[in-house]
Amino acid sequence: MKIFNSVLFNSLVYFSCYFYPPSAFAENQYGYYGKSDFSKLNYSMLVNWNSVEGKKRLFQSKYNEDFFQLAHNFQPQANPLYCGIASSVMVLNALRIAKGNIPSQSTLEVQKPVVWGGDSIPYKLYSQSTFLNKKTDIIKLQDIIELKNITAQNQNDGSKFDPGLTLSQLKGVLEAYQVQVLLVYAQDNSTVSIEKFRNHLKKVLSESEKFIIINYKSNQIGQAGGGHISPIAAYDQVTDSVLVLDVSGHLNPWLWAPLKDLYLSMNTKDGDKFRGYLVVEDKKP
């Protein structure tokens, strides 16, 4: 059954993590960037993290503590709708793996034969394949997130589909894992708001117990993609740029983006709410 007809496809382009202009991916090579919507320059201001310039920014940064926690736990999103889930799994593992308090994921355990003891090999790491469960279903059903609610009866009705996660939904899903989450909407593009974002980044990225996840329009800063979610790993004060550990491994590499452009791409609507960012930390014992 051909379910992705033109009506359904047109409705999908409004949802996070999934949509991108058909020509953008076809014409661009991996790691090739277009011009930012917010720049007066006629070339991209995005910088690959592993280029000479990208490495320079990382090592000169005074605010790069989160990079060393997140890089070890990086996971590209497992499918086009999982940007928020991949970002969350990375952050949860970064918060808890060193503490040894991640429960074994029972469905990922491996059973030994009796000759080897007959017990199971545990898997104490959060995984994208086990992240959604009955507790997260209270916030949003897994079938709706994964766009598995398509039927022959509803496939032409765009109002029936709401794949992916908005920023507020992601906050709720993360809170099901007993973490503390601060949600900040990028509701205006004033100099004061941009400076507040900059100061917030400096504070969070200089310690190892808090992490920032952003929701932004990636195509507006020159990337392939559209509405997207990824963690931030570092801020370079010299170039006023931010290192985004982009989880869309099928589209983009990690990159440095101008802070102002990144903020302005968050100052866009996702449904009836603005995009923005989450600050995630473990709840105090």
CATH number at 188 reads: 3.90.70.30
pLDDT at 168: 96
The answer to the question of residue 134 being in a domain is no
* Residue 9 maps to a domain: no
In a domain, 6, yes or no: no
Q: What is the pLDDT of residue 4?
A: 40
Residues with Cβ < 8 Å from 276, sequence gap 6 or more?
167, 183, 184, 185, 186, 187, 214, 215, 266
Q: How many CB atoms lie within 10 A of CB 198?
A: 18
> How high is the pLDDT of residue 158?
81
Interatomic CA distance for residues 166 and 16, integer angstroms: 7
* Residue 150 domain flag: no
Question: Could you tell me the residue range of the domain that residue 191 belongs to?
Answer: 17-126+164-282
Q: What is the DSSP string of 246-266?
A: ---TTT---EEEEHHHHHHHH
Q: How many domains does the chain have?
A: 1
In a domain? residue 133: no
Residue 100 CA to residue 103 CA, distance in Å, equals: 9
> Which of the four pLDDT bands, split at 50, 70 and 90, describes residue 278?
very high
Q: What's the residue count for the chain?
A: 285
Q: How many CB atoms lie within 10 A of CB 127?
A: 15
**Does residue 276 sit within a domain?**
yes
Assigned domain for 96 exists: yes
A 10 A CB-CB count for 134 gives 8
- Which of 18-22, 53-57, 166-170 has the least mean pLDDT? 18-22
Contact predicate 281/204, CB 8 Å: no
- Average pLDDT over the chain, rounded to whole? 87
What's the pTM? Answer: 0.87
Q: What pLDDT does residue 117 have?
A: 85
3-state secondary structure of 185: strand
Distance of CA 26 to the CA centre of its chain: 23
The average pLDDT across 47-65 equals 95
Binned at pLDDT 50, 70 and 90, residue 285 comes out as: low
For residues 92-112, give the mean pLDDT.
90
pLDDT for the residue 152: 85
Q: Is the pLDDT of residue 124 over 80?
A: yes
Q: pLDDT per residue over 158-201, tens digit each?
A: 888 778 899 999 999 999 999 999 999 999 999 999 999 999 99
**Looking at the domain assignment, is residue 10 inside a domain?**
no
- Whether 156 shows a pLDDT value over 70: the answer reads yes
